[in-house]
Amino acid sequence: MAAAGASGKTYSFKAVLLGEGCVGKTSLVLRYCENKFNDKHITTLQASFLNKKLNITGKRVNLAIWDTAGQERFHALGPIYYRDSNGAILVYDVTDEDSFQKVKNWVKELRKMLGNDICLCIVGNKIDLEKERHVSVEEAESYAESVGAKHYYTSAKLNKGIEELFLDLCKRMMETAQAEERMKGNGASQSTSNRRGVQIVDDEPQAAPAGGCCSSG
Amino acid sequence: MSQRRGIHVDQSDLLCKKGCGYYGNTAWHGLCSKCWREEYQQVRQKQIQDDWALAEKLQREEEAAYASTQGTQSQSQAAASQTHPAPPSLGPFSKFEEKKTNEKTRKVTTVKKFFSSSSSRTPKKETQEGRTISPSINRHTSLEMDQVSKDFTEFLKNLHKPGREILKQCRVFIMNVSSKKELKADELSECVQDFYQNMADRLTGHFKGSSESVEQVMDQVEKYIMSRMYKVAFCPETTDDERKDLAIQKRIRELHWVTIQMLCVPIEEEIPEVSDKVVNAITDIIEMDSKKVPQDKLGCIKRCCKHIFSAIRSTKNEPASADDFLPALIYIVLKANPPRLQSNIQYITRFCNPSRLMTGEEAYYFTNLCCAVAFIEKLDAQSLNLSPEEFERYMSGQASPRFHSAEGEQHRAEAGATNPVLEQLNHNLEQLTGLIARQERLVEAAQSMQADLLSWPECVQREVDNILEEYPLEILPRTVAAIDAHDVDSDRLPHPLTPQVCAQ
């Protein structure tokens, strides 16, 4: 997926948005891509798949953000969504203890299935509702550190922390991709294992490497 | 005859005709097993070589034909544009015809599928039948194929020398693959994917990293290759794709009772605009089966999803999130029951250009479709917020959520509010019952009128008879007087003139 060769080429990343329904995943993405919140004039038809072109330190990055259905009944479909993704944004609502618990479950699952190839971001959304906070700062940050994820605070309503979140994620994914390239450069044969598409069998823990060479977006 | 049947059979009759000393067998033309195998092998080898030669010859002819038709076409087109303006319109029209017939044949096969699913025991036989349906289908596919090759060569012309190279590569690849008939689906997929990879690598080298041009060429390459290999590659007999198709089809049919509320889909179908979009989405997802090239199939999925998005947008007046979109897609798949769903998904997975399948919008929609299918396969009571008993009853057909809700009065209102079709249906039924009552009254009235009419002449007759009885007709004798008879009447007449003599 993370296709990029020499420095002149475009990196193409896929990031999935995970989290319970109503934590504000959609608002987060809409704010990032359209800079709008609860606006009647949003021109986008949908906020489930968004593509953003970035230029980070002179390198072109194509970031595809995949929203996932957060309802509990769709939890089992997770692997189909996050297969081959380079990054995962795990969103919880700071006023909702349960949603943080869900994030913990996702982290466990992602690490089990994809190992350390995936960059994890844990995002506490809705910090504009500071008064009703139910997830403590220390707890969330220490947890994120313990699983090798980065923690962010955002507010889609006030447009806080969102730009930073995505920019940081892209930088980290670039680092991972570059590290992988170097690995490959050291004699490893060009991997072809990664060009398989999405398959319906979702119970095989196929740890696909996050780097590839096939798709230069 | 008796001699031959007897024991005194000539030894030489039984021996192998090649004289190797072993016994021969009539089934092997009098040869022993060893010699027969050698002989047979030779014949077969020769046959294969002949076939090859023929195939190559045809290929050359085809190439030559294209070259010449293109040459003449451009000439004739130039001529046509000067003299007759009519011919250009012929092109699109014939294309349209072709499309129409294609659609027809597709319908035939889907209908076949439809019937075969009920007798799912004989899927093998069905496919063989499908293979040999009629030569007309073959003719149409070859026509379509010609169009594809023409487009492809036309496209490659712009690339000049590398274009020719690409065409040659593709042809060689198709020849190679078609000569290896016994390839399994996975191996075939591997071959095609390797080919894509090599081609993309070379193109990247050629275009110096301009990924857009590479994509463009790769799309055309995929179109060309896959429309030629469709027959072999789609739902091959070596896989159990067909069985899976039937399984999911049956499953969706069993789930016909699932309502929009159970899935929590934010679509309100009473809004005519929204229901139109739902219908469009269903049409698009069904149309996927008729496309031959993986990316065209992806295109259908994309269009379907766009319709779903605008349906959600019209209902909720805000951009659709995945929380809304996935249930809606599941609902659409359940409603549409797209033909050969699993085969199509497998085909796309195996033979789509990886850059299309793994990045971009199409990839996201395709993934969602896979999710919807996985959800439908695993769907249970919990995922619809039903109790296991309820789910069981609905599944077994003992109860239906719609019928159930139509029983109670307040439920009926609810059902009416939720399902405009049902409401319309109820309304129509009521009107019909009203009409029936009125019709009955009309018939009654007509009958009584008929009876009245029938009895009326009798009445009149009776009246007349009565009157006749009361006043019987008496005919009095009449006396006919002679003209010159002296009677009363003539008294009033003036006296006849008497001649008088006038003085002169």
Give tens-digit pLDDT for B226-268: 888 888 888 888 888 889 999 999 999 989 888 888 888 888 8
The pLDDT, as a whole number, for residue B483 is 63
The pLDDT, as a whole number, for residue B366 is 93
Range 43-82 of A in CB contact (< 8 A) with B: 44-49, 51, 62, 64, 66-71, 73-74, 76-77, 80-81
Element at B437 (helix H, strand E): helix B420-470
Residues of A in contact with B382 (CB under 8 A): 73
Rounded to two decimals, the pTM is 0.64
Q: What angle do CA A44, A49, A53 make, to 5 degrees?
A: 85
Indicate the Cα dihedral angle A117, B294, A74, A78, nearest 10°. Answer: -10
List chain A pLDDT tens, one digit each, 217 residues. 444 444 467 888 999 999 988 888 888 888 888 777 766 666 677 888 988 889 988 888 999 999 999 888 898 899 989 988 999 999 999 999 999 999 999 999 999 888 888 999 999 999 998 888 888 889 999 999 999 999 999 998 888 899 999 999 999 999 999 888 888 776 544 444 444 444 444 444 444 444 444 444 3
Exposure of B91 in the CB half-sphere (CA atoms within 13 A): 7
Give tens-digit pLDDT for B417-443: 567 788 888 999 999 999 999 999 999
Selection from B101, B103, B99, B116 nearest residue B340 by Cα: B116
**What φ, ψ does residue A124 adopt, rounded to 5°?**
-90, 110
Contact check, Cβ <8 Å, B359/A214: no
What 8-state DSSP symbol labels residue A209?
Answer: -
Contact check, Cβ <8 Å, B326/A196: no
| Contact present, B205 and B219 (Cβ < 8 Å) | no
Cα-trace Rg, chain A? 17
The pLDDT, as a whole number, for residue B107 is 45
- Compute the distance between CA of residue A137 and CA of residue A132 in angstroms, rounded to an integer: 13
Go through the domains of chain B in sequence order and give each one's CATH number: 141-233 (1.10.246.120), 240-396 (1.20.1050.80)
Domain boundaries defined on chain A = 10-180
Contact check, Cβ <8 Å, A197/B204: no
Contact check, Cβ <8 Å, B321/A46: yes
| Contact present, A12 and A1 (Cβ < 8 Å) | yes
| Candidate from A1, A17, A198 with C-beta closest to B367 | A198
Grouped pLDDT means (10 residues each) for chain B, 504 residues: 50 74 75 80 82 81 70 48 41 44 45 43 41 50 75 80 83 84 83 89 79 84 88 84 91 89 87 91 93 92 93 86 91 93 92 83 92 92 86 82 52 55 89 95 96 94 92 78 61 77 75
Contact check, Cβ <8 Å, B360/A30: no
Tokens in use for B219?
Answer: 């799309």
CATH class of A10-180: alpha beta
- Compute the distance between CA of residue A188 and CA of residue A194 in angstroms, rounded to an integer: 14
| Contact present, B116 and B122 (Cβ < 8 Å) | yes
- Compute the distance between CA of residue B432 and CA of residue A117 in angstroms, rounded to an integer: 67
The pLDDT, as a whole number, for residue B403 is 55
Residues of B in contact with A84 (CB under 8 A): 358
- Structure ipTM: 0.81
- Compute the distance between CA of residue A12 and CA of residue B428 in angstroms, rounded to an integer: 57
